[in-house]
Amino acid sequence: MKAVAIQEFGPAEGLRVIETPEPTPDTGQVLIETEAIGVGGVDAVIRRGTLGSYGFKPGHIPGSEVAGKVIAVGAGLDESLKGRRVWAFTGTGGGYAEKAVASDFLPIPETLTSEDAVAIGTSGAVSHFALAHAHFEAGESVLVRGAAGSIGVSAVQLAARNGAKNVAVTTSNHERGERLKKLGATEVLDRAGTGEGKYDVIIDLIAGPNLPDFFDKLNPNGRLVVVGVVGGMPLSDFAAKLLQNFQKSWSFMTFSADTVPREDLRRVRLEQFGDGMFKGIVHEILPLDQAALAHQKMDDGEVFGRIVLKP
């Protein structure tokens, strides 16, 4: 089968098309003929080689999220799954391929395309549980920092739908700000968050050295949750500002979907897949063999939502 592997860690051109034997489903796994493959920020982090210490080797096939048709099942699974269209999480790799195996999979309703399923699957659930982790409640004000990515566009929609008093976003790009307004944003800020607004909840996809500047944007009892580190690690003394502002009872948290029980993730994904109002934002659909171009577009900061590959 055709797949795309990281042959050299670093720039996007290190991603190359390869021929490789199709995988065999293990116990509890399905084999999926892929129709849509989500291109995620984590794939780019792995490709750049920054996660080298986790043991990724040249030849690694990236991709953690696919949708397509079940064509074979491993031991312990019902043969009737064959022919079903499913969304699946493939772990830290294996997705950029014509066929992929997974044990974590869900049926996709007729009303949802495979492309939309991979745009919603991870980002919708991460946003849902990140807001819950922040104890977000209707009537509170929310800032989504780094809102133009796949997680941010979901977080904006969910905060707005669930009764946020206002939803501010940061973005470097005017046009993306206008698109975020259509998804429910009420206030568009630059990447530095310039403005006088204060928020009860900040969903932060960026972190980086400017993280403490965003503590200043919290109301008393405000909560800032780091969900991603697109801007890199903060400085080691980043938390000093929290203690310097002790009287404001600010909270700093991190959130990873890895800590959410699998059954809870499944329940929320199924609700979101069946919810016609919640939109997956597909930036562009590219052929699988243009995975390097997809990564280049991500590196160039062009992407609003998610790029999807098609075999």
Ligand X SMILES: NC(=O)c1ccc[n+]([C@@H]2O[C@H](COP(=O)([O-])OP(=O)(O)OC[C@H]3O[C@@H](n4cnc5c(N)ncnc54)[C@H](OP(=O)(O)O)[C@@H]3O)[C@@H](O)[C@H]2O)c1
Residues in contact with ligand X by the rule CB under 6 A: 40-42, 122, 126, 146, 148-152, 171-173, 176, 191, 205-206, 208, 227-231, 255-257, 301, 303
**Whole-number minimum distance, CB 41 to ligand X, in Å?**
3
Distance CA 66, CA 110 (A): 16
Closer residue to ligand X in complex, CB, 20/210: 210
Distance CA 27, CA 29 (A): 6
**Whole-number minimum distance, CB 79 to ligand X, in Å?**
33
The single-letter code of the amino acid at 225 is: V
**Whole-number minimum distance, CB 302 to ligand X, in Å?**
9
Closer residue to ligand X in complex, CB, 11/74: 11
Q: Which two tokens stand for residue 175?
A: 């046009």
**Whole-number minimum distance, CB 224 to ligand X, in Å?**
14
Q: Which two tokens stand for residue 226?
A: 């780091």
**Whole-number minimum distance, CB 267 to ligand X, in Å?**
17
Instruction: Say if CB 142 and CB 218 are below 8 A apart.
Output: no
The neighbour count for residue 56, using CB atoms within 10 Å, is: 17
- DSSP state at residue 216: T
The neighbour count for residue 92, using CB atoms within 10 Å, is: 16
Closer residue to ligand X in complex, CB, 48/198: 48
Closer residue to ligand X in complex, CB, 95/152: 152
Distance CA 196, CA 273 (A): 37
The neighbour count for residue 79, using CB atoms within 10 Å, is: 9
Closer residue to ligand X in complex, CB, 77/205: 205
